[in-house]
Structure 1
Amino acid sequence: MDRRPRDARLRQVGTSRAGLPLRLLSVGHGSRQVLVVAGPHANEPVGGATVLRLAERVLADPRLCDGADVTWNLLLCLDPDGSRRNEGWLSGPYTLGHHFRHFFRPGFMEQPEWLPDGAEGATLPETRTLLALQDELRPFLQCSLHGVDVGGGFVELTRDLPGLAPRLAHIATRLDIPLERGPYDTLYWPTLGPAVYRIPPPRRGDLAAAITEAAVESTWFHPHPYGTVTAVVEAPMWGVTAVQDASVPADAEETLRGVSRTLRRDTALLEELLARIRPYLGTAGDVDRLLAPVDDYVLVCPGLADSWDPDTGPGTDVDGGARPLPPLTTARLTALRISARRIALRTAGLLHQLVTASGHDPSGATADLDRLVDAWCADYHDGHGARWIPVARQAEYQARVVLAAFDLARRPDPASGRGARPLGAPPVRTEVPFE
């Protein structure tokens, strides 16, 4: 920005609940807008590195901004308050145990991308800031930068971008990033190509459905009337090879029964620990912030276990209709096993922080929580082969996927005229050398 003050401008566009500034970095002077949102989930920090990498690329390549009549708008962090609570693990060591013992993600009602009461009912200042930016910019492309703690990369779209799946596969192969062929997040969503999924339009449901399926209005869909395509770009921190295995295992149903049994058992252990801990926590504001996601996780676990268990029948959709699970590939079963373990580990990590913050542990819960966290992290390592992906490679992968989505979104759409680019403009080169 200091080198190119005319082409890169930084402005404050809002303020967080704790008074931290929400800053937007705009690069270029084109009439058409791209909006990239980093840090929508507090525990997924890679987007902060990705937007800086994107700014450097855009400044270095005129075809990405002024040559395409485009301005890039990079929101540096949507939830700085929550992100600050993850600082305990951000500097390393990058071990699963260290990560989950310092993990924080706010309760569902405090996550700024969701609009459970619609845009008019949005109360979080971070949410109102993002909505105002979307209405001001009316971007043809919005990218929301997310991270997967354990698993693989994938992309969710509000509109199809034909050709994205092969580009995604090429990028992932070059950078040795596993792609999820059946992520838990998209369990019931249409597939547009390998590791690319269509986000269904929002619909009303109960809180459990909103938490587990994003079955609620969101800032992903708010700019939809402007012709915006939103791409949610997920980059993994610890990669697992089996999430891309599309083979069909012979013992799929028995494996699924085991996943459900394990989730029920782990939930019972955590509920017992919560009952032991809660009387000693007090009512300080920090306790409430840590308890909110714990209560969310405990709320959804029984329903998840029942919906996955072949012996308890198919799941139900938000309208009350029967909804069987999609075909059970190795990738999907792996994703479900990882997700069940993830919910338990996050809950255990938050309970560990609650006990630590209370300053005393008369119930002796700390040792039990340490034992559970260590055992469950070992399952990720030994049972799934989870491997750390260096931060630079996570950010490079995510930046290349954003640039691929940009190249496809700016092309002419015969049906709407959306995304037209100058006649004869060459495709954007996304395969830059990896540093």
Structure 2
Amino acid sequence: MDDLSARAAALVARHPHRARLRRVGTSRAGTPMWLLSVGRGSRHTLIVAGPHANEPVGGATVLRLAERALADPRLSDAADITWNLLLSLDPDGSRRNEGWLSGPYTLGHHFRHFFRPGFLEQPEWLPDGAAGAALPETRTLLGLQDELRPFFQCSLHGVDIGGGFVELTRELPGIAERVARIAARLGIPRELRPYDTLYWPCLGPAVYRIPPPRRGDLAAAITEAAVESTWFHPHRYGTVTAVVEAPMWGVTAVEDVSPTPDADAVLRTVSRALRRDTRLLEGILARVRRSVSGGPDAARLLAPVDDYLLVGPGLADSWDPDVHDGAARPLPPLDTARLTTLAISGRRVALRTAGLLHQLVTRAGRDPGDALPELDRLIDEWCAEYRDGYGARWIPVARQAEYQAHVVLAAFDLAAGRPRTSGSAPHGTCPDVHADSRSGEPDWSSEPAVPMHRE
């Protein structure tokens, strides 16, 4: 977080007449919330980095976007546009992830230092509506939306395991084909059947329409974003919001739409594994809860643990063909991509819980339930399943940010009415197409960033 703020300040120092940095709010822990603005046009964009604490790529992306807007006046002053880039919506949560940000970029290191707050402490959501927003971070974002009334808003997210995709509050015809070209060029798998969008309308490969918020119980809100959100708050101003997901570890099978011979058998395996893992983790928590409750940051770490253990059994039941009853919403058609996504999602719930429990015990400085060896074994086994069973491969940070920045600029072009190519997917369809993913890709982590060109 300190590095991100320093880089933004240095950029403003180099361009004092075209870039500005202002403090727009303060987090719960007293951390300043900074807005970097480029250009002085009357039409505004609002780009939000760090809405989820464990998804850090947006910080790198907003700096790239600022540099791009400064380098090309057609993106800012010449188009009467101001770019407003919020460096982090959850700076406190982002700091809690700094234990893995410097590497090594292994799955085990990531999950042992993973942090994502409980659902009620995630600042994008409005479970009690905008008027009832309690978090200062949320109120800061709502204030910016009402002040700027952006024509285009973008929320920058990161998929830990899987592929890239886009979610929209309004349709942007042509975005699916642009995402496909960007992903193919950079070797990023597209997630064609994301779990997040399980029942959402598909606007084209890896592009989904976010349905208007509806009231639901907490479990539904955690898994389906069923409550009011800051994505829809500026809808009244004509804003189109794009949620751009960039993967950290890519899995090629998430874009494989070939049929699976026995989908029900896969679902049974995934569901039973999630139930088994949940019971196992519940037992570990019961053994250690009393001893860890007084440790540093215990309340903030226990909140997401309780959330994950709450939703796990319900997810397993909703996927299991032997439990799923006729009254429940049926699963969409199943292919390799969707089954892979569901399996990754089930394992993610267990791995995140195990990683948070590992931190709780480690920080407490005592382990009377002898939980650490068991948690280490489980984390290693489950990470190996991602690595060896699904071929999860690390995508260098420079390429994650390059992909995300290109997708943001493509969505911006379409939202701003700039020229676009024809031939997008028909409305409401989701063609079964594959990106041209690279095999044996080079590691670009030490290479200069690919020069950015608007699609």
TM-score of Structure 1 vs Structure 2, range by shorter chain: over 0.9
**Separation in 2 of the partners of 1:147 and 1:308?**
24
Matches within 5 A, 1:34-433: 34-283=45-294, 286-314=297-325, 322-411=328-417, 432=452
Equivalent position amino acid for 2:370 in 1: G
Following the alignment from structure 2 to structure 1, what is the Cα–Cα distance between the partners of residues 271 and 23? 46
Deviations 1:192-237 (A, max 9, x none): 0000000000000000000010000000000001000000000000
1:51·1:74 contact (CA, 8 Å) conserved in 2? yes
Please give the alpha-carbon distance, in whole angstroms, between the structure 1 residues aligned to 2:24 and 2:257: 44
Q: 1:285 Cα shift?
A: 6.3
Amino acid at match of 2:396: P
User: Secondary structure, in 3 states, of the residue corresponding to 2:192?
Assistant: coil
2:296/2:363 contact within 8 Å kept: no
- 1 CA distance for matches of 2:294 and 2:170? 44
Letter paired with 1:139: P
Deviation digits for residues 382-430 of structure 1 (CA, Å, limit 9, x no counterpart): 10000000000000000000000000000189xxxxxxxxxxxxxxxx9
Following TM superposition, by how much is the alpha carbon of 1:282 offset from its aligned partner in structure 2, in angstroms?
Answer: 3.1
Q: Could you tell me which residue of structure 2 aligns to residue 424 of structure 1?
A: none
Are the aligned partners of 1:352 and 1:366 in contact in 2 as well (CA < 8 Å)?
yes
Residue type at the aligned position of 1:312: V
Separation of aligned partners in 1, 2:129 and 2:161: 31
The residue identity in structure 2 corresponding to 1:263 is: L
AA aligned opposite 2:53: A
- Normalising by the residue count of structure 1, what TM-score does the alignment of the two structures yield? 0.93
**Preserved contact between residue 295 and residue 363 of structure 2 (Cα < 8 Å):** no
Amino acid at match of 1:406: F
Q: Secondary structure at the match of 1:5?
A: coil
Shift of 1:89: 0.2
Q: What is the TM-score with the length of structure 2 in the denominator?
A: 0.89
Q: What is the alpha-carbon distance in structure 2 between the residues aligned to residue 376 and residue 412 of structure 1?
A: 45
CA distance in 1, matches of 2:453, 2:396: 16
Task: Name the amino acid aligned to 1:82.
Answer: G
User: Cα deviations across residues 107-147 of structure 1 (Å, max 9, x unaligned)?
Assistant: 00000000000000001000000000000000010000000
Change (3 A) 1:431 1:2: closer
Alignment of 1:15-26 (within 5 A): 15-26=26-37
The SS at the match of 1:322 is coil
The answer on whether the counterparts of 2:27 and 2:92 sit within 8 Å (CA) in structure 1 is yes
Amino acid at match of 1:161: L
2 CA distance for matches of 1:134 and 1:285?
35
| Distance of 1:90 and 1:382 partners within structure 2 | 23
3-state SS of 2:158 partner: strand
Unaligned stretches of 5+ in structure 1? 316-320, 414-429
**Matching residue of 1:421:** none
**Structure-1 separation of matches of 2:325 and 2:316:** 11
Figure out how many residues of one structure are paired with residues of the other and give that number. 413
> What is the letter of the counterpart of residue 342 of structure 1?
R
Secondary structure, counterpart of 2:150 in structure 1:
coil
Supply the RMSD in Å over aligned alpha carbons.
1.5
Give 1:416's aligned residue: none
Which structure 2 segments of 5+ residues have no match? 1-11, 420-449
Once the two structures are overlaid, the 10-residue window that deviates more, 403-412 or 90-99, is: 403-412
Deviation at 1:250, TM superposition (A): 1.1
**Is the contact made by 1:159 and 1:230 (CA closer than 8 Å) also made in structure 2?**
yes
CA distance in structure 1 between the aligned counterparts of 2:142 and 2:86, rounded to whole angstroms:
12
**Deviation at residue 314 of structure 1 after TM alignment:** 4.8
After superposition, what is the alpha-carbon deviation per residue over 1:57-90, rounded to whole angstroms, capped at 9, x for unaligned?
0000011011111000000011000000001000
SS at 1:310's partner residue?
coil
Distance across 2 between alignment mates of 1:329 and 1:431: 36
SS at structure 2 position matched to 1:161: coil
The separation in 2 between residues aligned to 1:403 and 1:329, in whole angstroms, is: 31
Secondary structure at the residue paired with 2:242?
Answer: strand
**Matches of 2:295 and 2:127 in 1, distance apart?**
26
Distance 2:182 2:292 in 1: 47
Distance 1:314 1:27, change over 3 A: farther
**Percent of pairs identical after alignment?**
77
Distance in 1 (CA, whole Å) between partners of 2:232 and 2:258 is 33
Question: Would you say the 8 A contact 2:221–2:227 is kept in 1?
Answer: yes
Aligned amino acid, residue 299 of structure 2: D
